[in-house]
Amino acid sequence: MDPTAGNTVLDAARGLSSAEVAERVAAGKTNAYASGSSRSAWNIVRANVFTLFNGIVGACFLVLLLVGRWQDALFGLAAFGNAVIGCFQEFRAKSALDRLALLNAPLARLRRDDAEVSVASGEVVLDDILVLRAGDQVPADAVIVASRALQIDESMLTGESDAVDKGPGDEALSGSIVVAGEGEGRVVKVGADSYANKFADEAKRFSLVRSELRSSIDRVLKWVGWGIGPIGLLVLNAQMMVAGGWVTAVQTGTWEQAVVNTIAALTAMIPLGLVLMTSIAFAVAAAKLASKQVLVNELAAVEGLARVDVICLDKTGTLTAGEIEFDGAHPLTAPPAGWEGALAWYGAARDANATARCLAVPFPAEGPRDVTAYVPFSSARKWSAVSFGDAAPGTWVLGAPEMVFGDAASDASTALGSRVTTLASSGRRTLVLARTDGGMTDESVEAERLPEDAVPVALLTFREQVRSDAAQTLTYFRRQGVGIRIISGDNPRTVAAIAREVGVDVDEGYDARKLPEDDAALADVLETSLVFGRVTPEQKKRMVVALQARGHTVAMTGDGVNDALAIKTADMGIAMNSGSAATKAVARLVLLDGQFSHLPDVVAEGRQVIANIERVSMLFLTKTAYATALAVIFGLLVLEFPFLPRQLSITDGLTIGIPAFFLALLPNTQRYVPGFLKRSLMFAIPAGLVISAALTTYTLGAMALSVPEPELRTGSTIILAIVGIWVLTVLSRPITRFKVLVIGAMFVALVAVFTFPLTTEFFQLVDPGEDAAVLITIVTALTIGAIEIVRFFHRRYVAKALATA
């Protein structure tokens, strides 16, 4: 007997004719789809180059070049570095998004002119008849018109780990995979209208990762931006007045020095180095993580995981390896002869599904069998049957216990039900092998009717392969106070069992089909429930948004296309390298070797970046504070600005920029606490006001002593250099051997700058004179004492803030 008997006969439709295909091609009804870029190159360059601050710095740079003072234009290098690093990281993210593709099958199999042909997937047209066989990817949305044991894996799209039976009238989504059987489908959506391409377009909408460091720095730049215009005019007016007034300055040419002084004041206000240092710290952390098989799609992502307080995990492919494995056979009585051979046949069957194929290893087939009747497995009826006519005749049934034996398989008071419920409660997928002596009739095969008088022979258990490092990593996150939510498209009980296996204390999963539509009610459920099953892709995204609305910083992990939107929406998206191209493209981090155990490394790197940037930000923001205060004070008092731009480059480089580079890369395991900008400003503003008061006092004192302008500028530079070294030392505590080396090297470099003729000539440094030296010493000593007082109260403030966090 033909083993395919009883199945739907495949449609013998001719398919479209050549003329009909040409007509649809002319009408543009093809599957060709040219996806737009996620973000244009011009938009990236414009966002990183044509900014307010780059405009200010660029204009200042150009003015200095025009007046022949290129020596004072060194600050332009920081702006150039910022633009290059910013463009690089966004071009990298753009490249990943532009490679996004859900459809990767190069050829589609079609029926045209009553013949089977293969064409490129882009040449499929509306109403084409797709010929689908195991291993094919569906190239366009279709409706099944004929099938034989057709099963399609939609897990990458829906999250449902089981393959789905497809019969006439059912929908086959583009991007899904045929895993068993064969069939034909009529194309109903092509190109931009298909599910896969719509999903890709949604995922490719560009967005930057949320970064407290970046947003805080942007806030500072915005504040400075509001003030830089009026302060610049105030300073320029003061410098012109010092030069003898606007008319005199223009006539005598002294306006050039007035402009240079104004540029020195303005560029000192902008913490360009802080932006550059943050980008460098991110880049170094990304490089270190790359060596640990963690790909960072966007530099600021290394900060993100350190801020996460809820992590949402997809089960299939994330907590588990996404594969089913045979667990064991549990005979119910003395098994009859041939039971292992029946299992071997099921494991080797041509249309075996993923669960049945697991039987091939423990029960290897010994040769072909005489099959007299066969009903293939269907996920709708959840059983399969085969009759043999050889040395071990009879009919063998393999399927879900409750579908083969009804209530007896779920009643714990029966022998079968007791064993089934015990095994199922452990989270293992359970099937029953049953036998009856007689063979199936043509009528029973055609009606797909269970054989009568079947007797249970053995229970078979299967389990998903849980990743070996999943439990360990989840334990780490729980210890760090990070909440865990397990979200899957699979059965809630199955998800709950896996959750228990990786250490999550939960009795049963929440069926997402019962989730409330109201966002506030949804958030309430998410605060109390930990495990969710039957979750759709749209629900995953809603769940992430609901958690964010409650003030949580959310991470989402996954590997399927169904996870892509949630991963993109989350504050921190993490994809497994085994996942789809769409998921990896929108994720911030990709675990290249699929090992969860790397996530603590990412947390450590993120904490290091945040803690160290908080420390160095106090250096840069202190400079912004005293530069702004000096500009306002000297503008109001109509005093000549006490520095040349090149002289500020000395203190910028040796007391802030270079040491900040080393400090930003030191190991640091300090726990992340929100509010780094406020803590930084609580030191920077008082310290900046102290320094600006000291420099103003020195300038007024030097003017009273009739100290010449070159000597006055040199004295101001000496005070700022020494105080800057002291601020560096204060913020570096506790002092380690390495920090002593860095600070000592900076001090030696400062001494060299003030000593060697080549540097003194370039930076226009001279002997400040005996009278000025005494004033310098007094002012410097008093300023250092005041800085210590500021730091004392700042440390108390920070300790109190961390204690209440």
Contacts of 213 (CB under 8 A, 6+ apart): 278, 300, 303, 609, 610, 613, 676
Q: How many structural domains does the chain have?
A: 4
As a whole number, mean pLDDT of residues 79-94 equals: 69
In a domain, 54, yes or no: no
Query: 430: helix, coil or strand?
Result: strand
Q: Do 192 and 260 belong to one domain?
A: no
Q: Do 115 and 161 belong to one domain?
A: yes
To 5 degrees, how large is the angle CA 796–CA 799–CA 804? 125
Q: Do 484 and 458 belong to one domain?
A: no
Select from 568, 594, 620 the last residue of a domain.
594
Q: What is the pLDDT of residues 532-555, one digit of tens each?
A: 987 887 888 899 999 999 989 899
Looking at residue 776, what is its pLDDT? Answer: 94
Looking at residue 5, what is its pLDDT? Answer: 35
Looking at residue 780, what is its pLDDT? Answer: 96
pTM of the model: 0.63
- Name the residue with higher pLDDT: 345 or 90: 345
As a whole number, mean pLDDT of residues 689-709 equals: 94
As a whole number, mean pLDDT of residues 147-168 equals: 72
Q: Which of 40-54, 449-463, 474-488 has the lowest mean pLDDT?
A: 40-54
Q: Do 173 and 186 belong to one domain?
A: yes
The single residue of 128, 314, 563, 652 carrying the catalytic annotation is 314
Q: Do 375 and 229 belong to one domain?
A: no
Select from 463, 489, 510 the last residue of a domain.
463
Half-sphere exposure of 488 (CA within 13 A, CB side): 26
Beta bridge partners of 460: 329, 431
Read off the CATH number of the domain in which 446 is found. Answer: 3.40.1110.10
Looking at residue 157, what is its pLDDT? Answer: 63
Q: Do 786 and 699 belong to one domain?
A: yes
What is the domain extent for residue 303?
294-308+468-594
In a domain, 164, yes or no: yes
- Name the nearest CA neighbour of 550 among 529, 526, 571: 526
DSSP structural state of residue 598? G
Q: What is the pLDDT of residues 566-602, one digit of tens each?
A: 888 888 888 887 766 667 767 888 888 778 788 888 8
Q: Do 628 and 717 belong to one domain?
A: yes
Contacts of 567 (CB under 8 A, 6+ apart): 556, 557, 558, 573, 574, 575, 583, 586, 587
Q: Do 283 and 298 belong to one domain?
A: no
In a domain, 181, yes or no: yes
Q: What is the pLDDT of residues 213-259, one digit of tens each?
A: 778 888 888 888 888 889 989 988 988 888 888 888 888 888 888 88
Long-range contacts of 44-53 (CB under 8 A, 24+ apart): 44/87, 44/90, 44/91, 44/94, 45/87, 47/86, 47/90, 48/82, 48/83, 48/86, 48/87, 48/90, 49/83, 49/87, 52/221, 52/225, 53/79, 53/221, 53/225, 53/270, 53/272
Q: Do 665 and 778 belong to one domain?
A: yes
Looking at residue 546, what is its pLDDT? Answer: 94
Select from 158, 173, 203 the last residue of a domain.
203
Looking at residue 10, what is its pLDDT? Answer: 40
Read off the CATH number of the domain in which 586 is found. Answer: 3.40.50.1000
Q: What is the pLDDT of residues 473-489, one digit of tens each?
A: 888 888 888 899 998 87
Q: Do 276 and 303 belong to one domain?
A: no
Q: Indicate the pairing of strand 371-378 with strand 141-153.
A: unpaired
Residue pair 164/142 in contact (Cβ under 8 Å)? The answer is: no
| Order of strands across the sheet that contains 572-576 | 294-296, 589-591, 572-576, 554-558, 310-314, 483-487, 531-533, 510-511
Read off the CATH number of the domain in which 123 is found. Answer: 2.70.150.10
Looking at residue 40, what is its pLDDT? Answer: 67
As a whole number, mean pLDDT of residues 689-716 equals: 94
Beta bridge partners of 459: 330, 432
As a whole number, mean pLDDT of residues 481-510 equals: 83
Q: Do 445 and 475 belong to one domain?
A: no
At 471, is the pLDDT very low, low, confident or very high (cuts 50, 70, 90)? confident
In a domain, 71, yes or no: no
Phi, psi of 189 (to 5 degrees): -140, 135
In a domain, 648, yes or no: yes
Using the predicted structure, report yes or no on whether residue 763 has a pLDDT greater than 50: yes
In a domain, 5, yes or no: no
Q: Do 662 and 725 belong to one domain?
A: yes
Looking at residue 785, what is its pLDDT? Answer: 96
**CA 120 to chain centroid:** 33
In a domain, 341, yes or no: yes
Range among 156-160, 270-274, 586-590, 685-689 rated most confident: 685-689
Determine whether 314 is an active site residue.
yes
Read off the CATH number of the domain in which 648 is found. Answer: 1.20.1110.10
